[in-house]
Amino acid sequence: MFAAKMFGTKMFIKKLPLTLNLFQWDFMEYNTLPEVEIAHNNLQKQSDFTKFLGDMYTFTKEHSIELGVRLVHRHLQVDEGKIMIEKFQFDHNSPSLITSADYPTDQAYPASWLLKNDGSLLVFEYSTDAHVKRSLEKLNNRPRIFVEFCKLIMEYHLEDLLAPCITARDSLRFFKKVGFLENTCFKHRISIVKSKNDVVIDNEQGPIIATLWAYIVNDSCFGTEGGENRLDCYSCTHCNSCSSCCACCPSKPKTYLVVKK
């Protein structure tokens, strides 16, 4: 198993600069991803994860690159022909990043990727944020940096658990930098990210699960004034108002972002 993993890493490093494709999507691949609790449990079994984070923070700081990693998991099932797109909107008068399955457009830019052992990439989720477009252009112009970032993930054998992602958004200027709360509402088939101050948090909620890790390289990146960015995620299947989903399911886990500054 170890030899096979090392071979996969070498193939990825060799092939990616020649076949760098940041735009390929597969809805069936997305639908087979684990739910957040399973993904979290699998990641907890990795003894070198903390060491990986230190190396990743050092890498992104040195290169001043707006990249981090996301826990590979799915929120919803996606129908054929659609992709998972994050859009900025105001929900109940509060700034929100709303992700749902929708048809692709020219204004939907890849924002995170799944790493495959054969050296290919699949888009994880998209965003309509203009900063994601600019960051994507930088990655295309500096492919070696992105390859080295992916190489780091694979050197720790975390490619099945972590997805490289763009961490900057122009729309974050509308958010209060006090941490972020994500609520997945299965009734409306959407996921909503808001500032924590805009969501009522129930103290009886379940365990906290981290879903994104990154170093804050500039003010456009996910983060808080204190340097740590938390995104608590609740799952809800039976409420009528997405703005109150976080109080509906105390048995569901919370997930959050961990950002170093």
Which residues 6+ apart lie within 8 Å of 28 measured at CB?
none
List 149's β-bridge partners, or say none: none
Range 41-73 burial, b when 16+ CB lie within 10 A, else e: eebeeeeeeeebbeebbebbeeeebbbbbbbbb
pTM: 0.80
Is the distance from CB of 161 to CB of 47 less than 8 angstroms?
A: no
Query: What digits encode the pLDDT tens for the residues 22-67?
Result: 889 999 999 999 988 899 899 999 999 999 999 999 999 899 999 9
How many domains does one find in the chain?
1
State the average pLDDT over residues 2-11. Answer: 33
Query: What digits encode the pLDDT tens for the residues 90-133?
Result: 988 889 999 999 999 999 999 999 998 777 899 999 999 999 99
State the average pLDDT over residues 180-203. Answer: 75
Q: Rounded to 5 degrees, what are φ and ψ at 213? A: -130, 135
Confidence category of residue 197, pLDDT binned at 50, 70, 90: confident
State the average pLDDT over residues 229-241. Answer: 37
pLDDT given for residue 195 in this prediction = 80
Structural domain including 203 reads 2-260
Q: What is d(CA 36, CA 75) in angstroms, rounded to the nearest whole number? A: 8
Which residues 6+ apart lie within 8 Å of 17 measured at CB?
143, 144, 147
Which carries the bigger pLDDT value, residue 18 or residue 214? 214
Q: What is d(CA 32, CA 68) in angstroms, rounded to the nearest whole number? A: 23
Residue linked to tokens 């809800």:
236
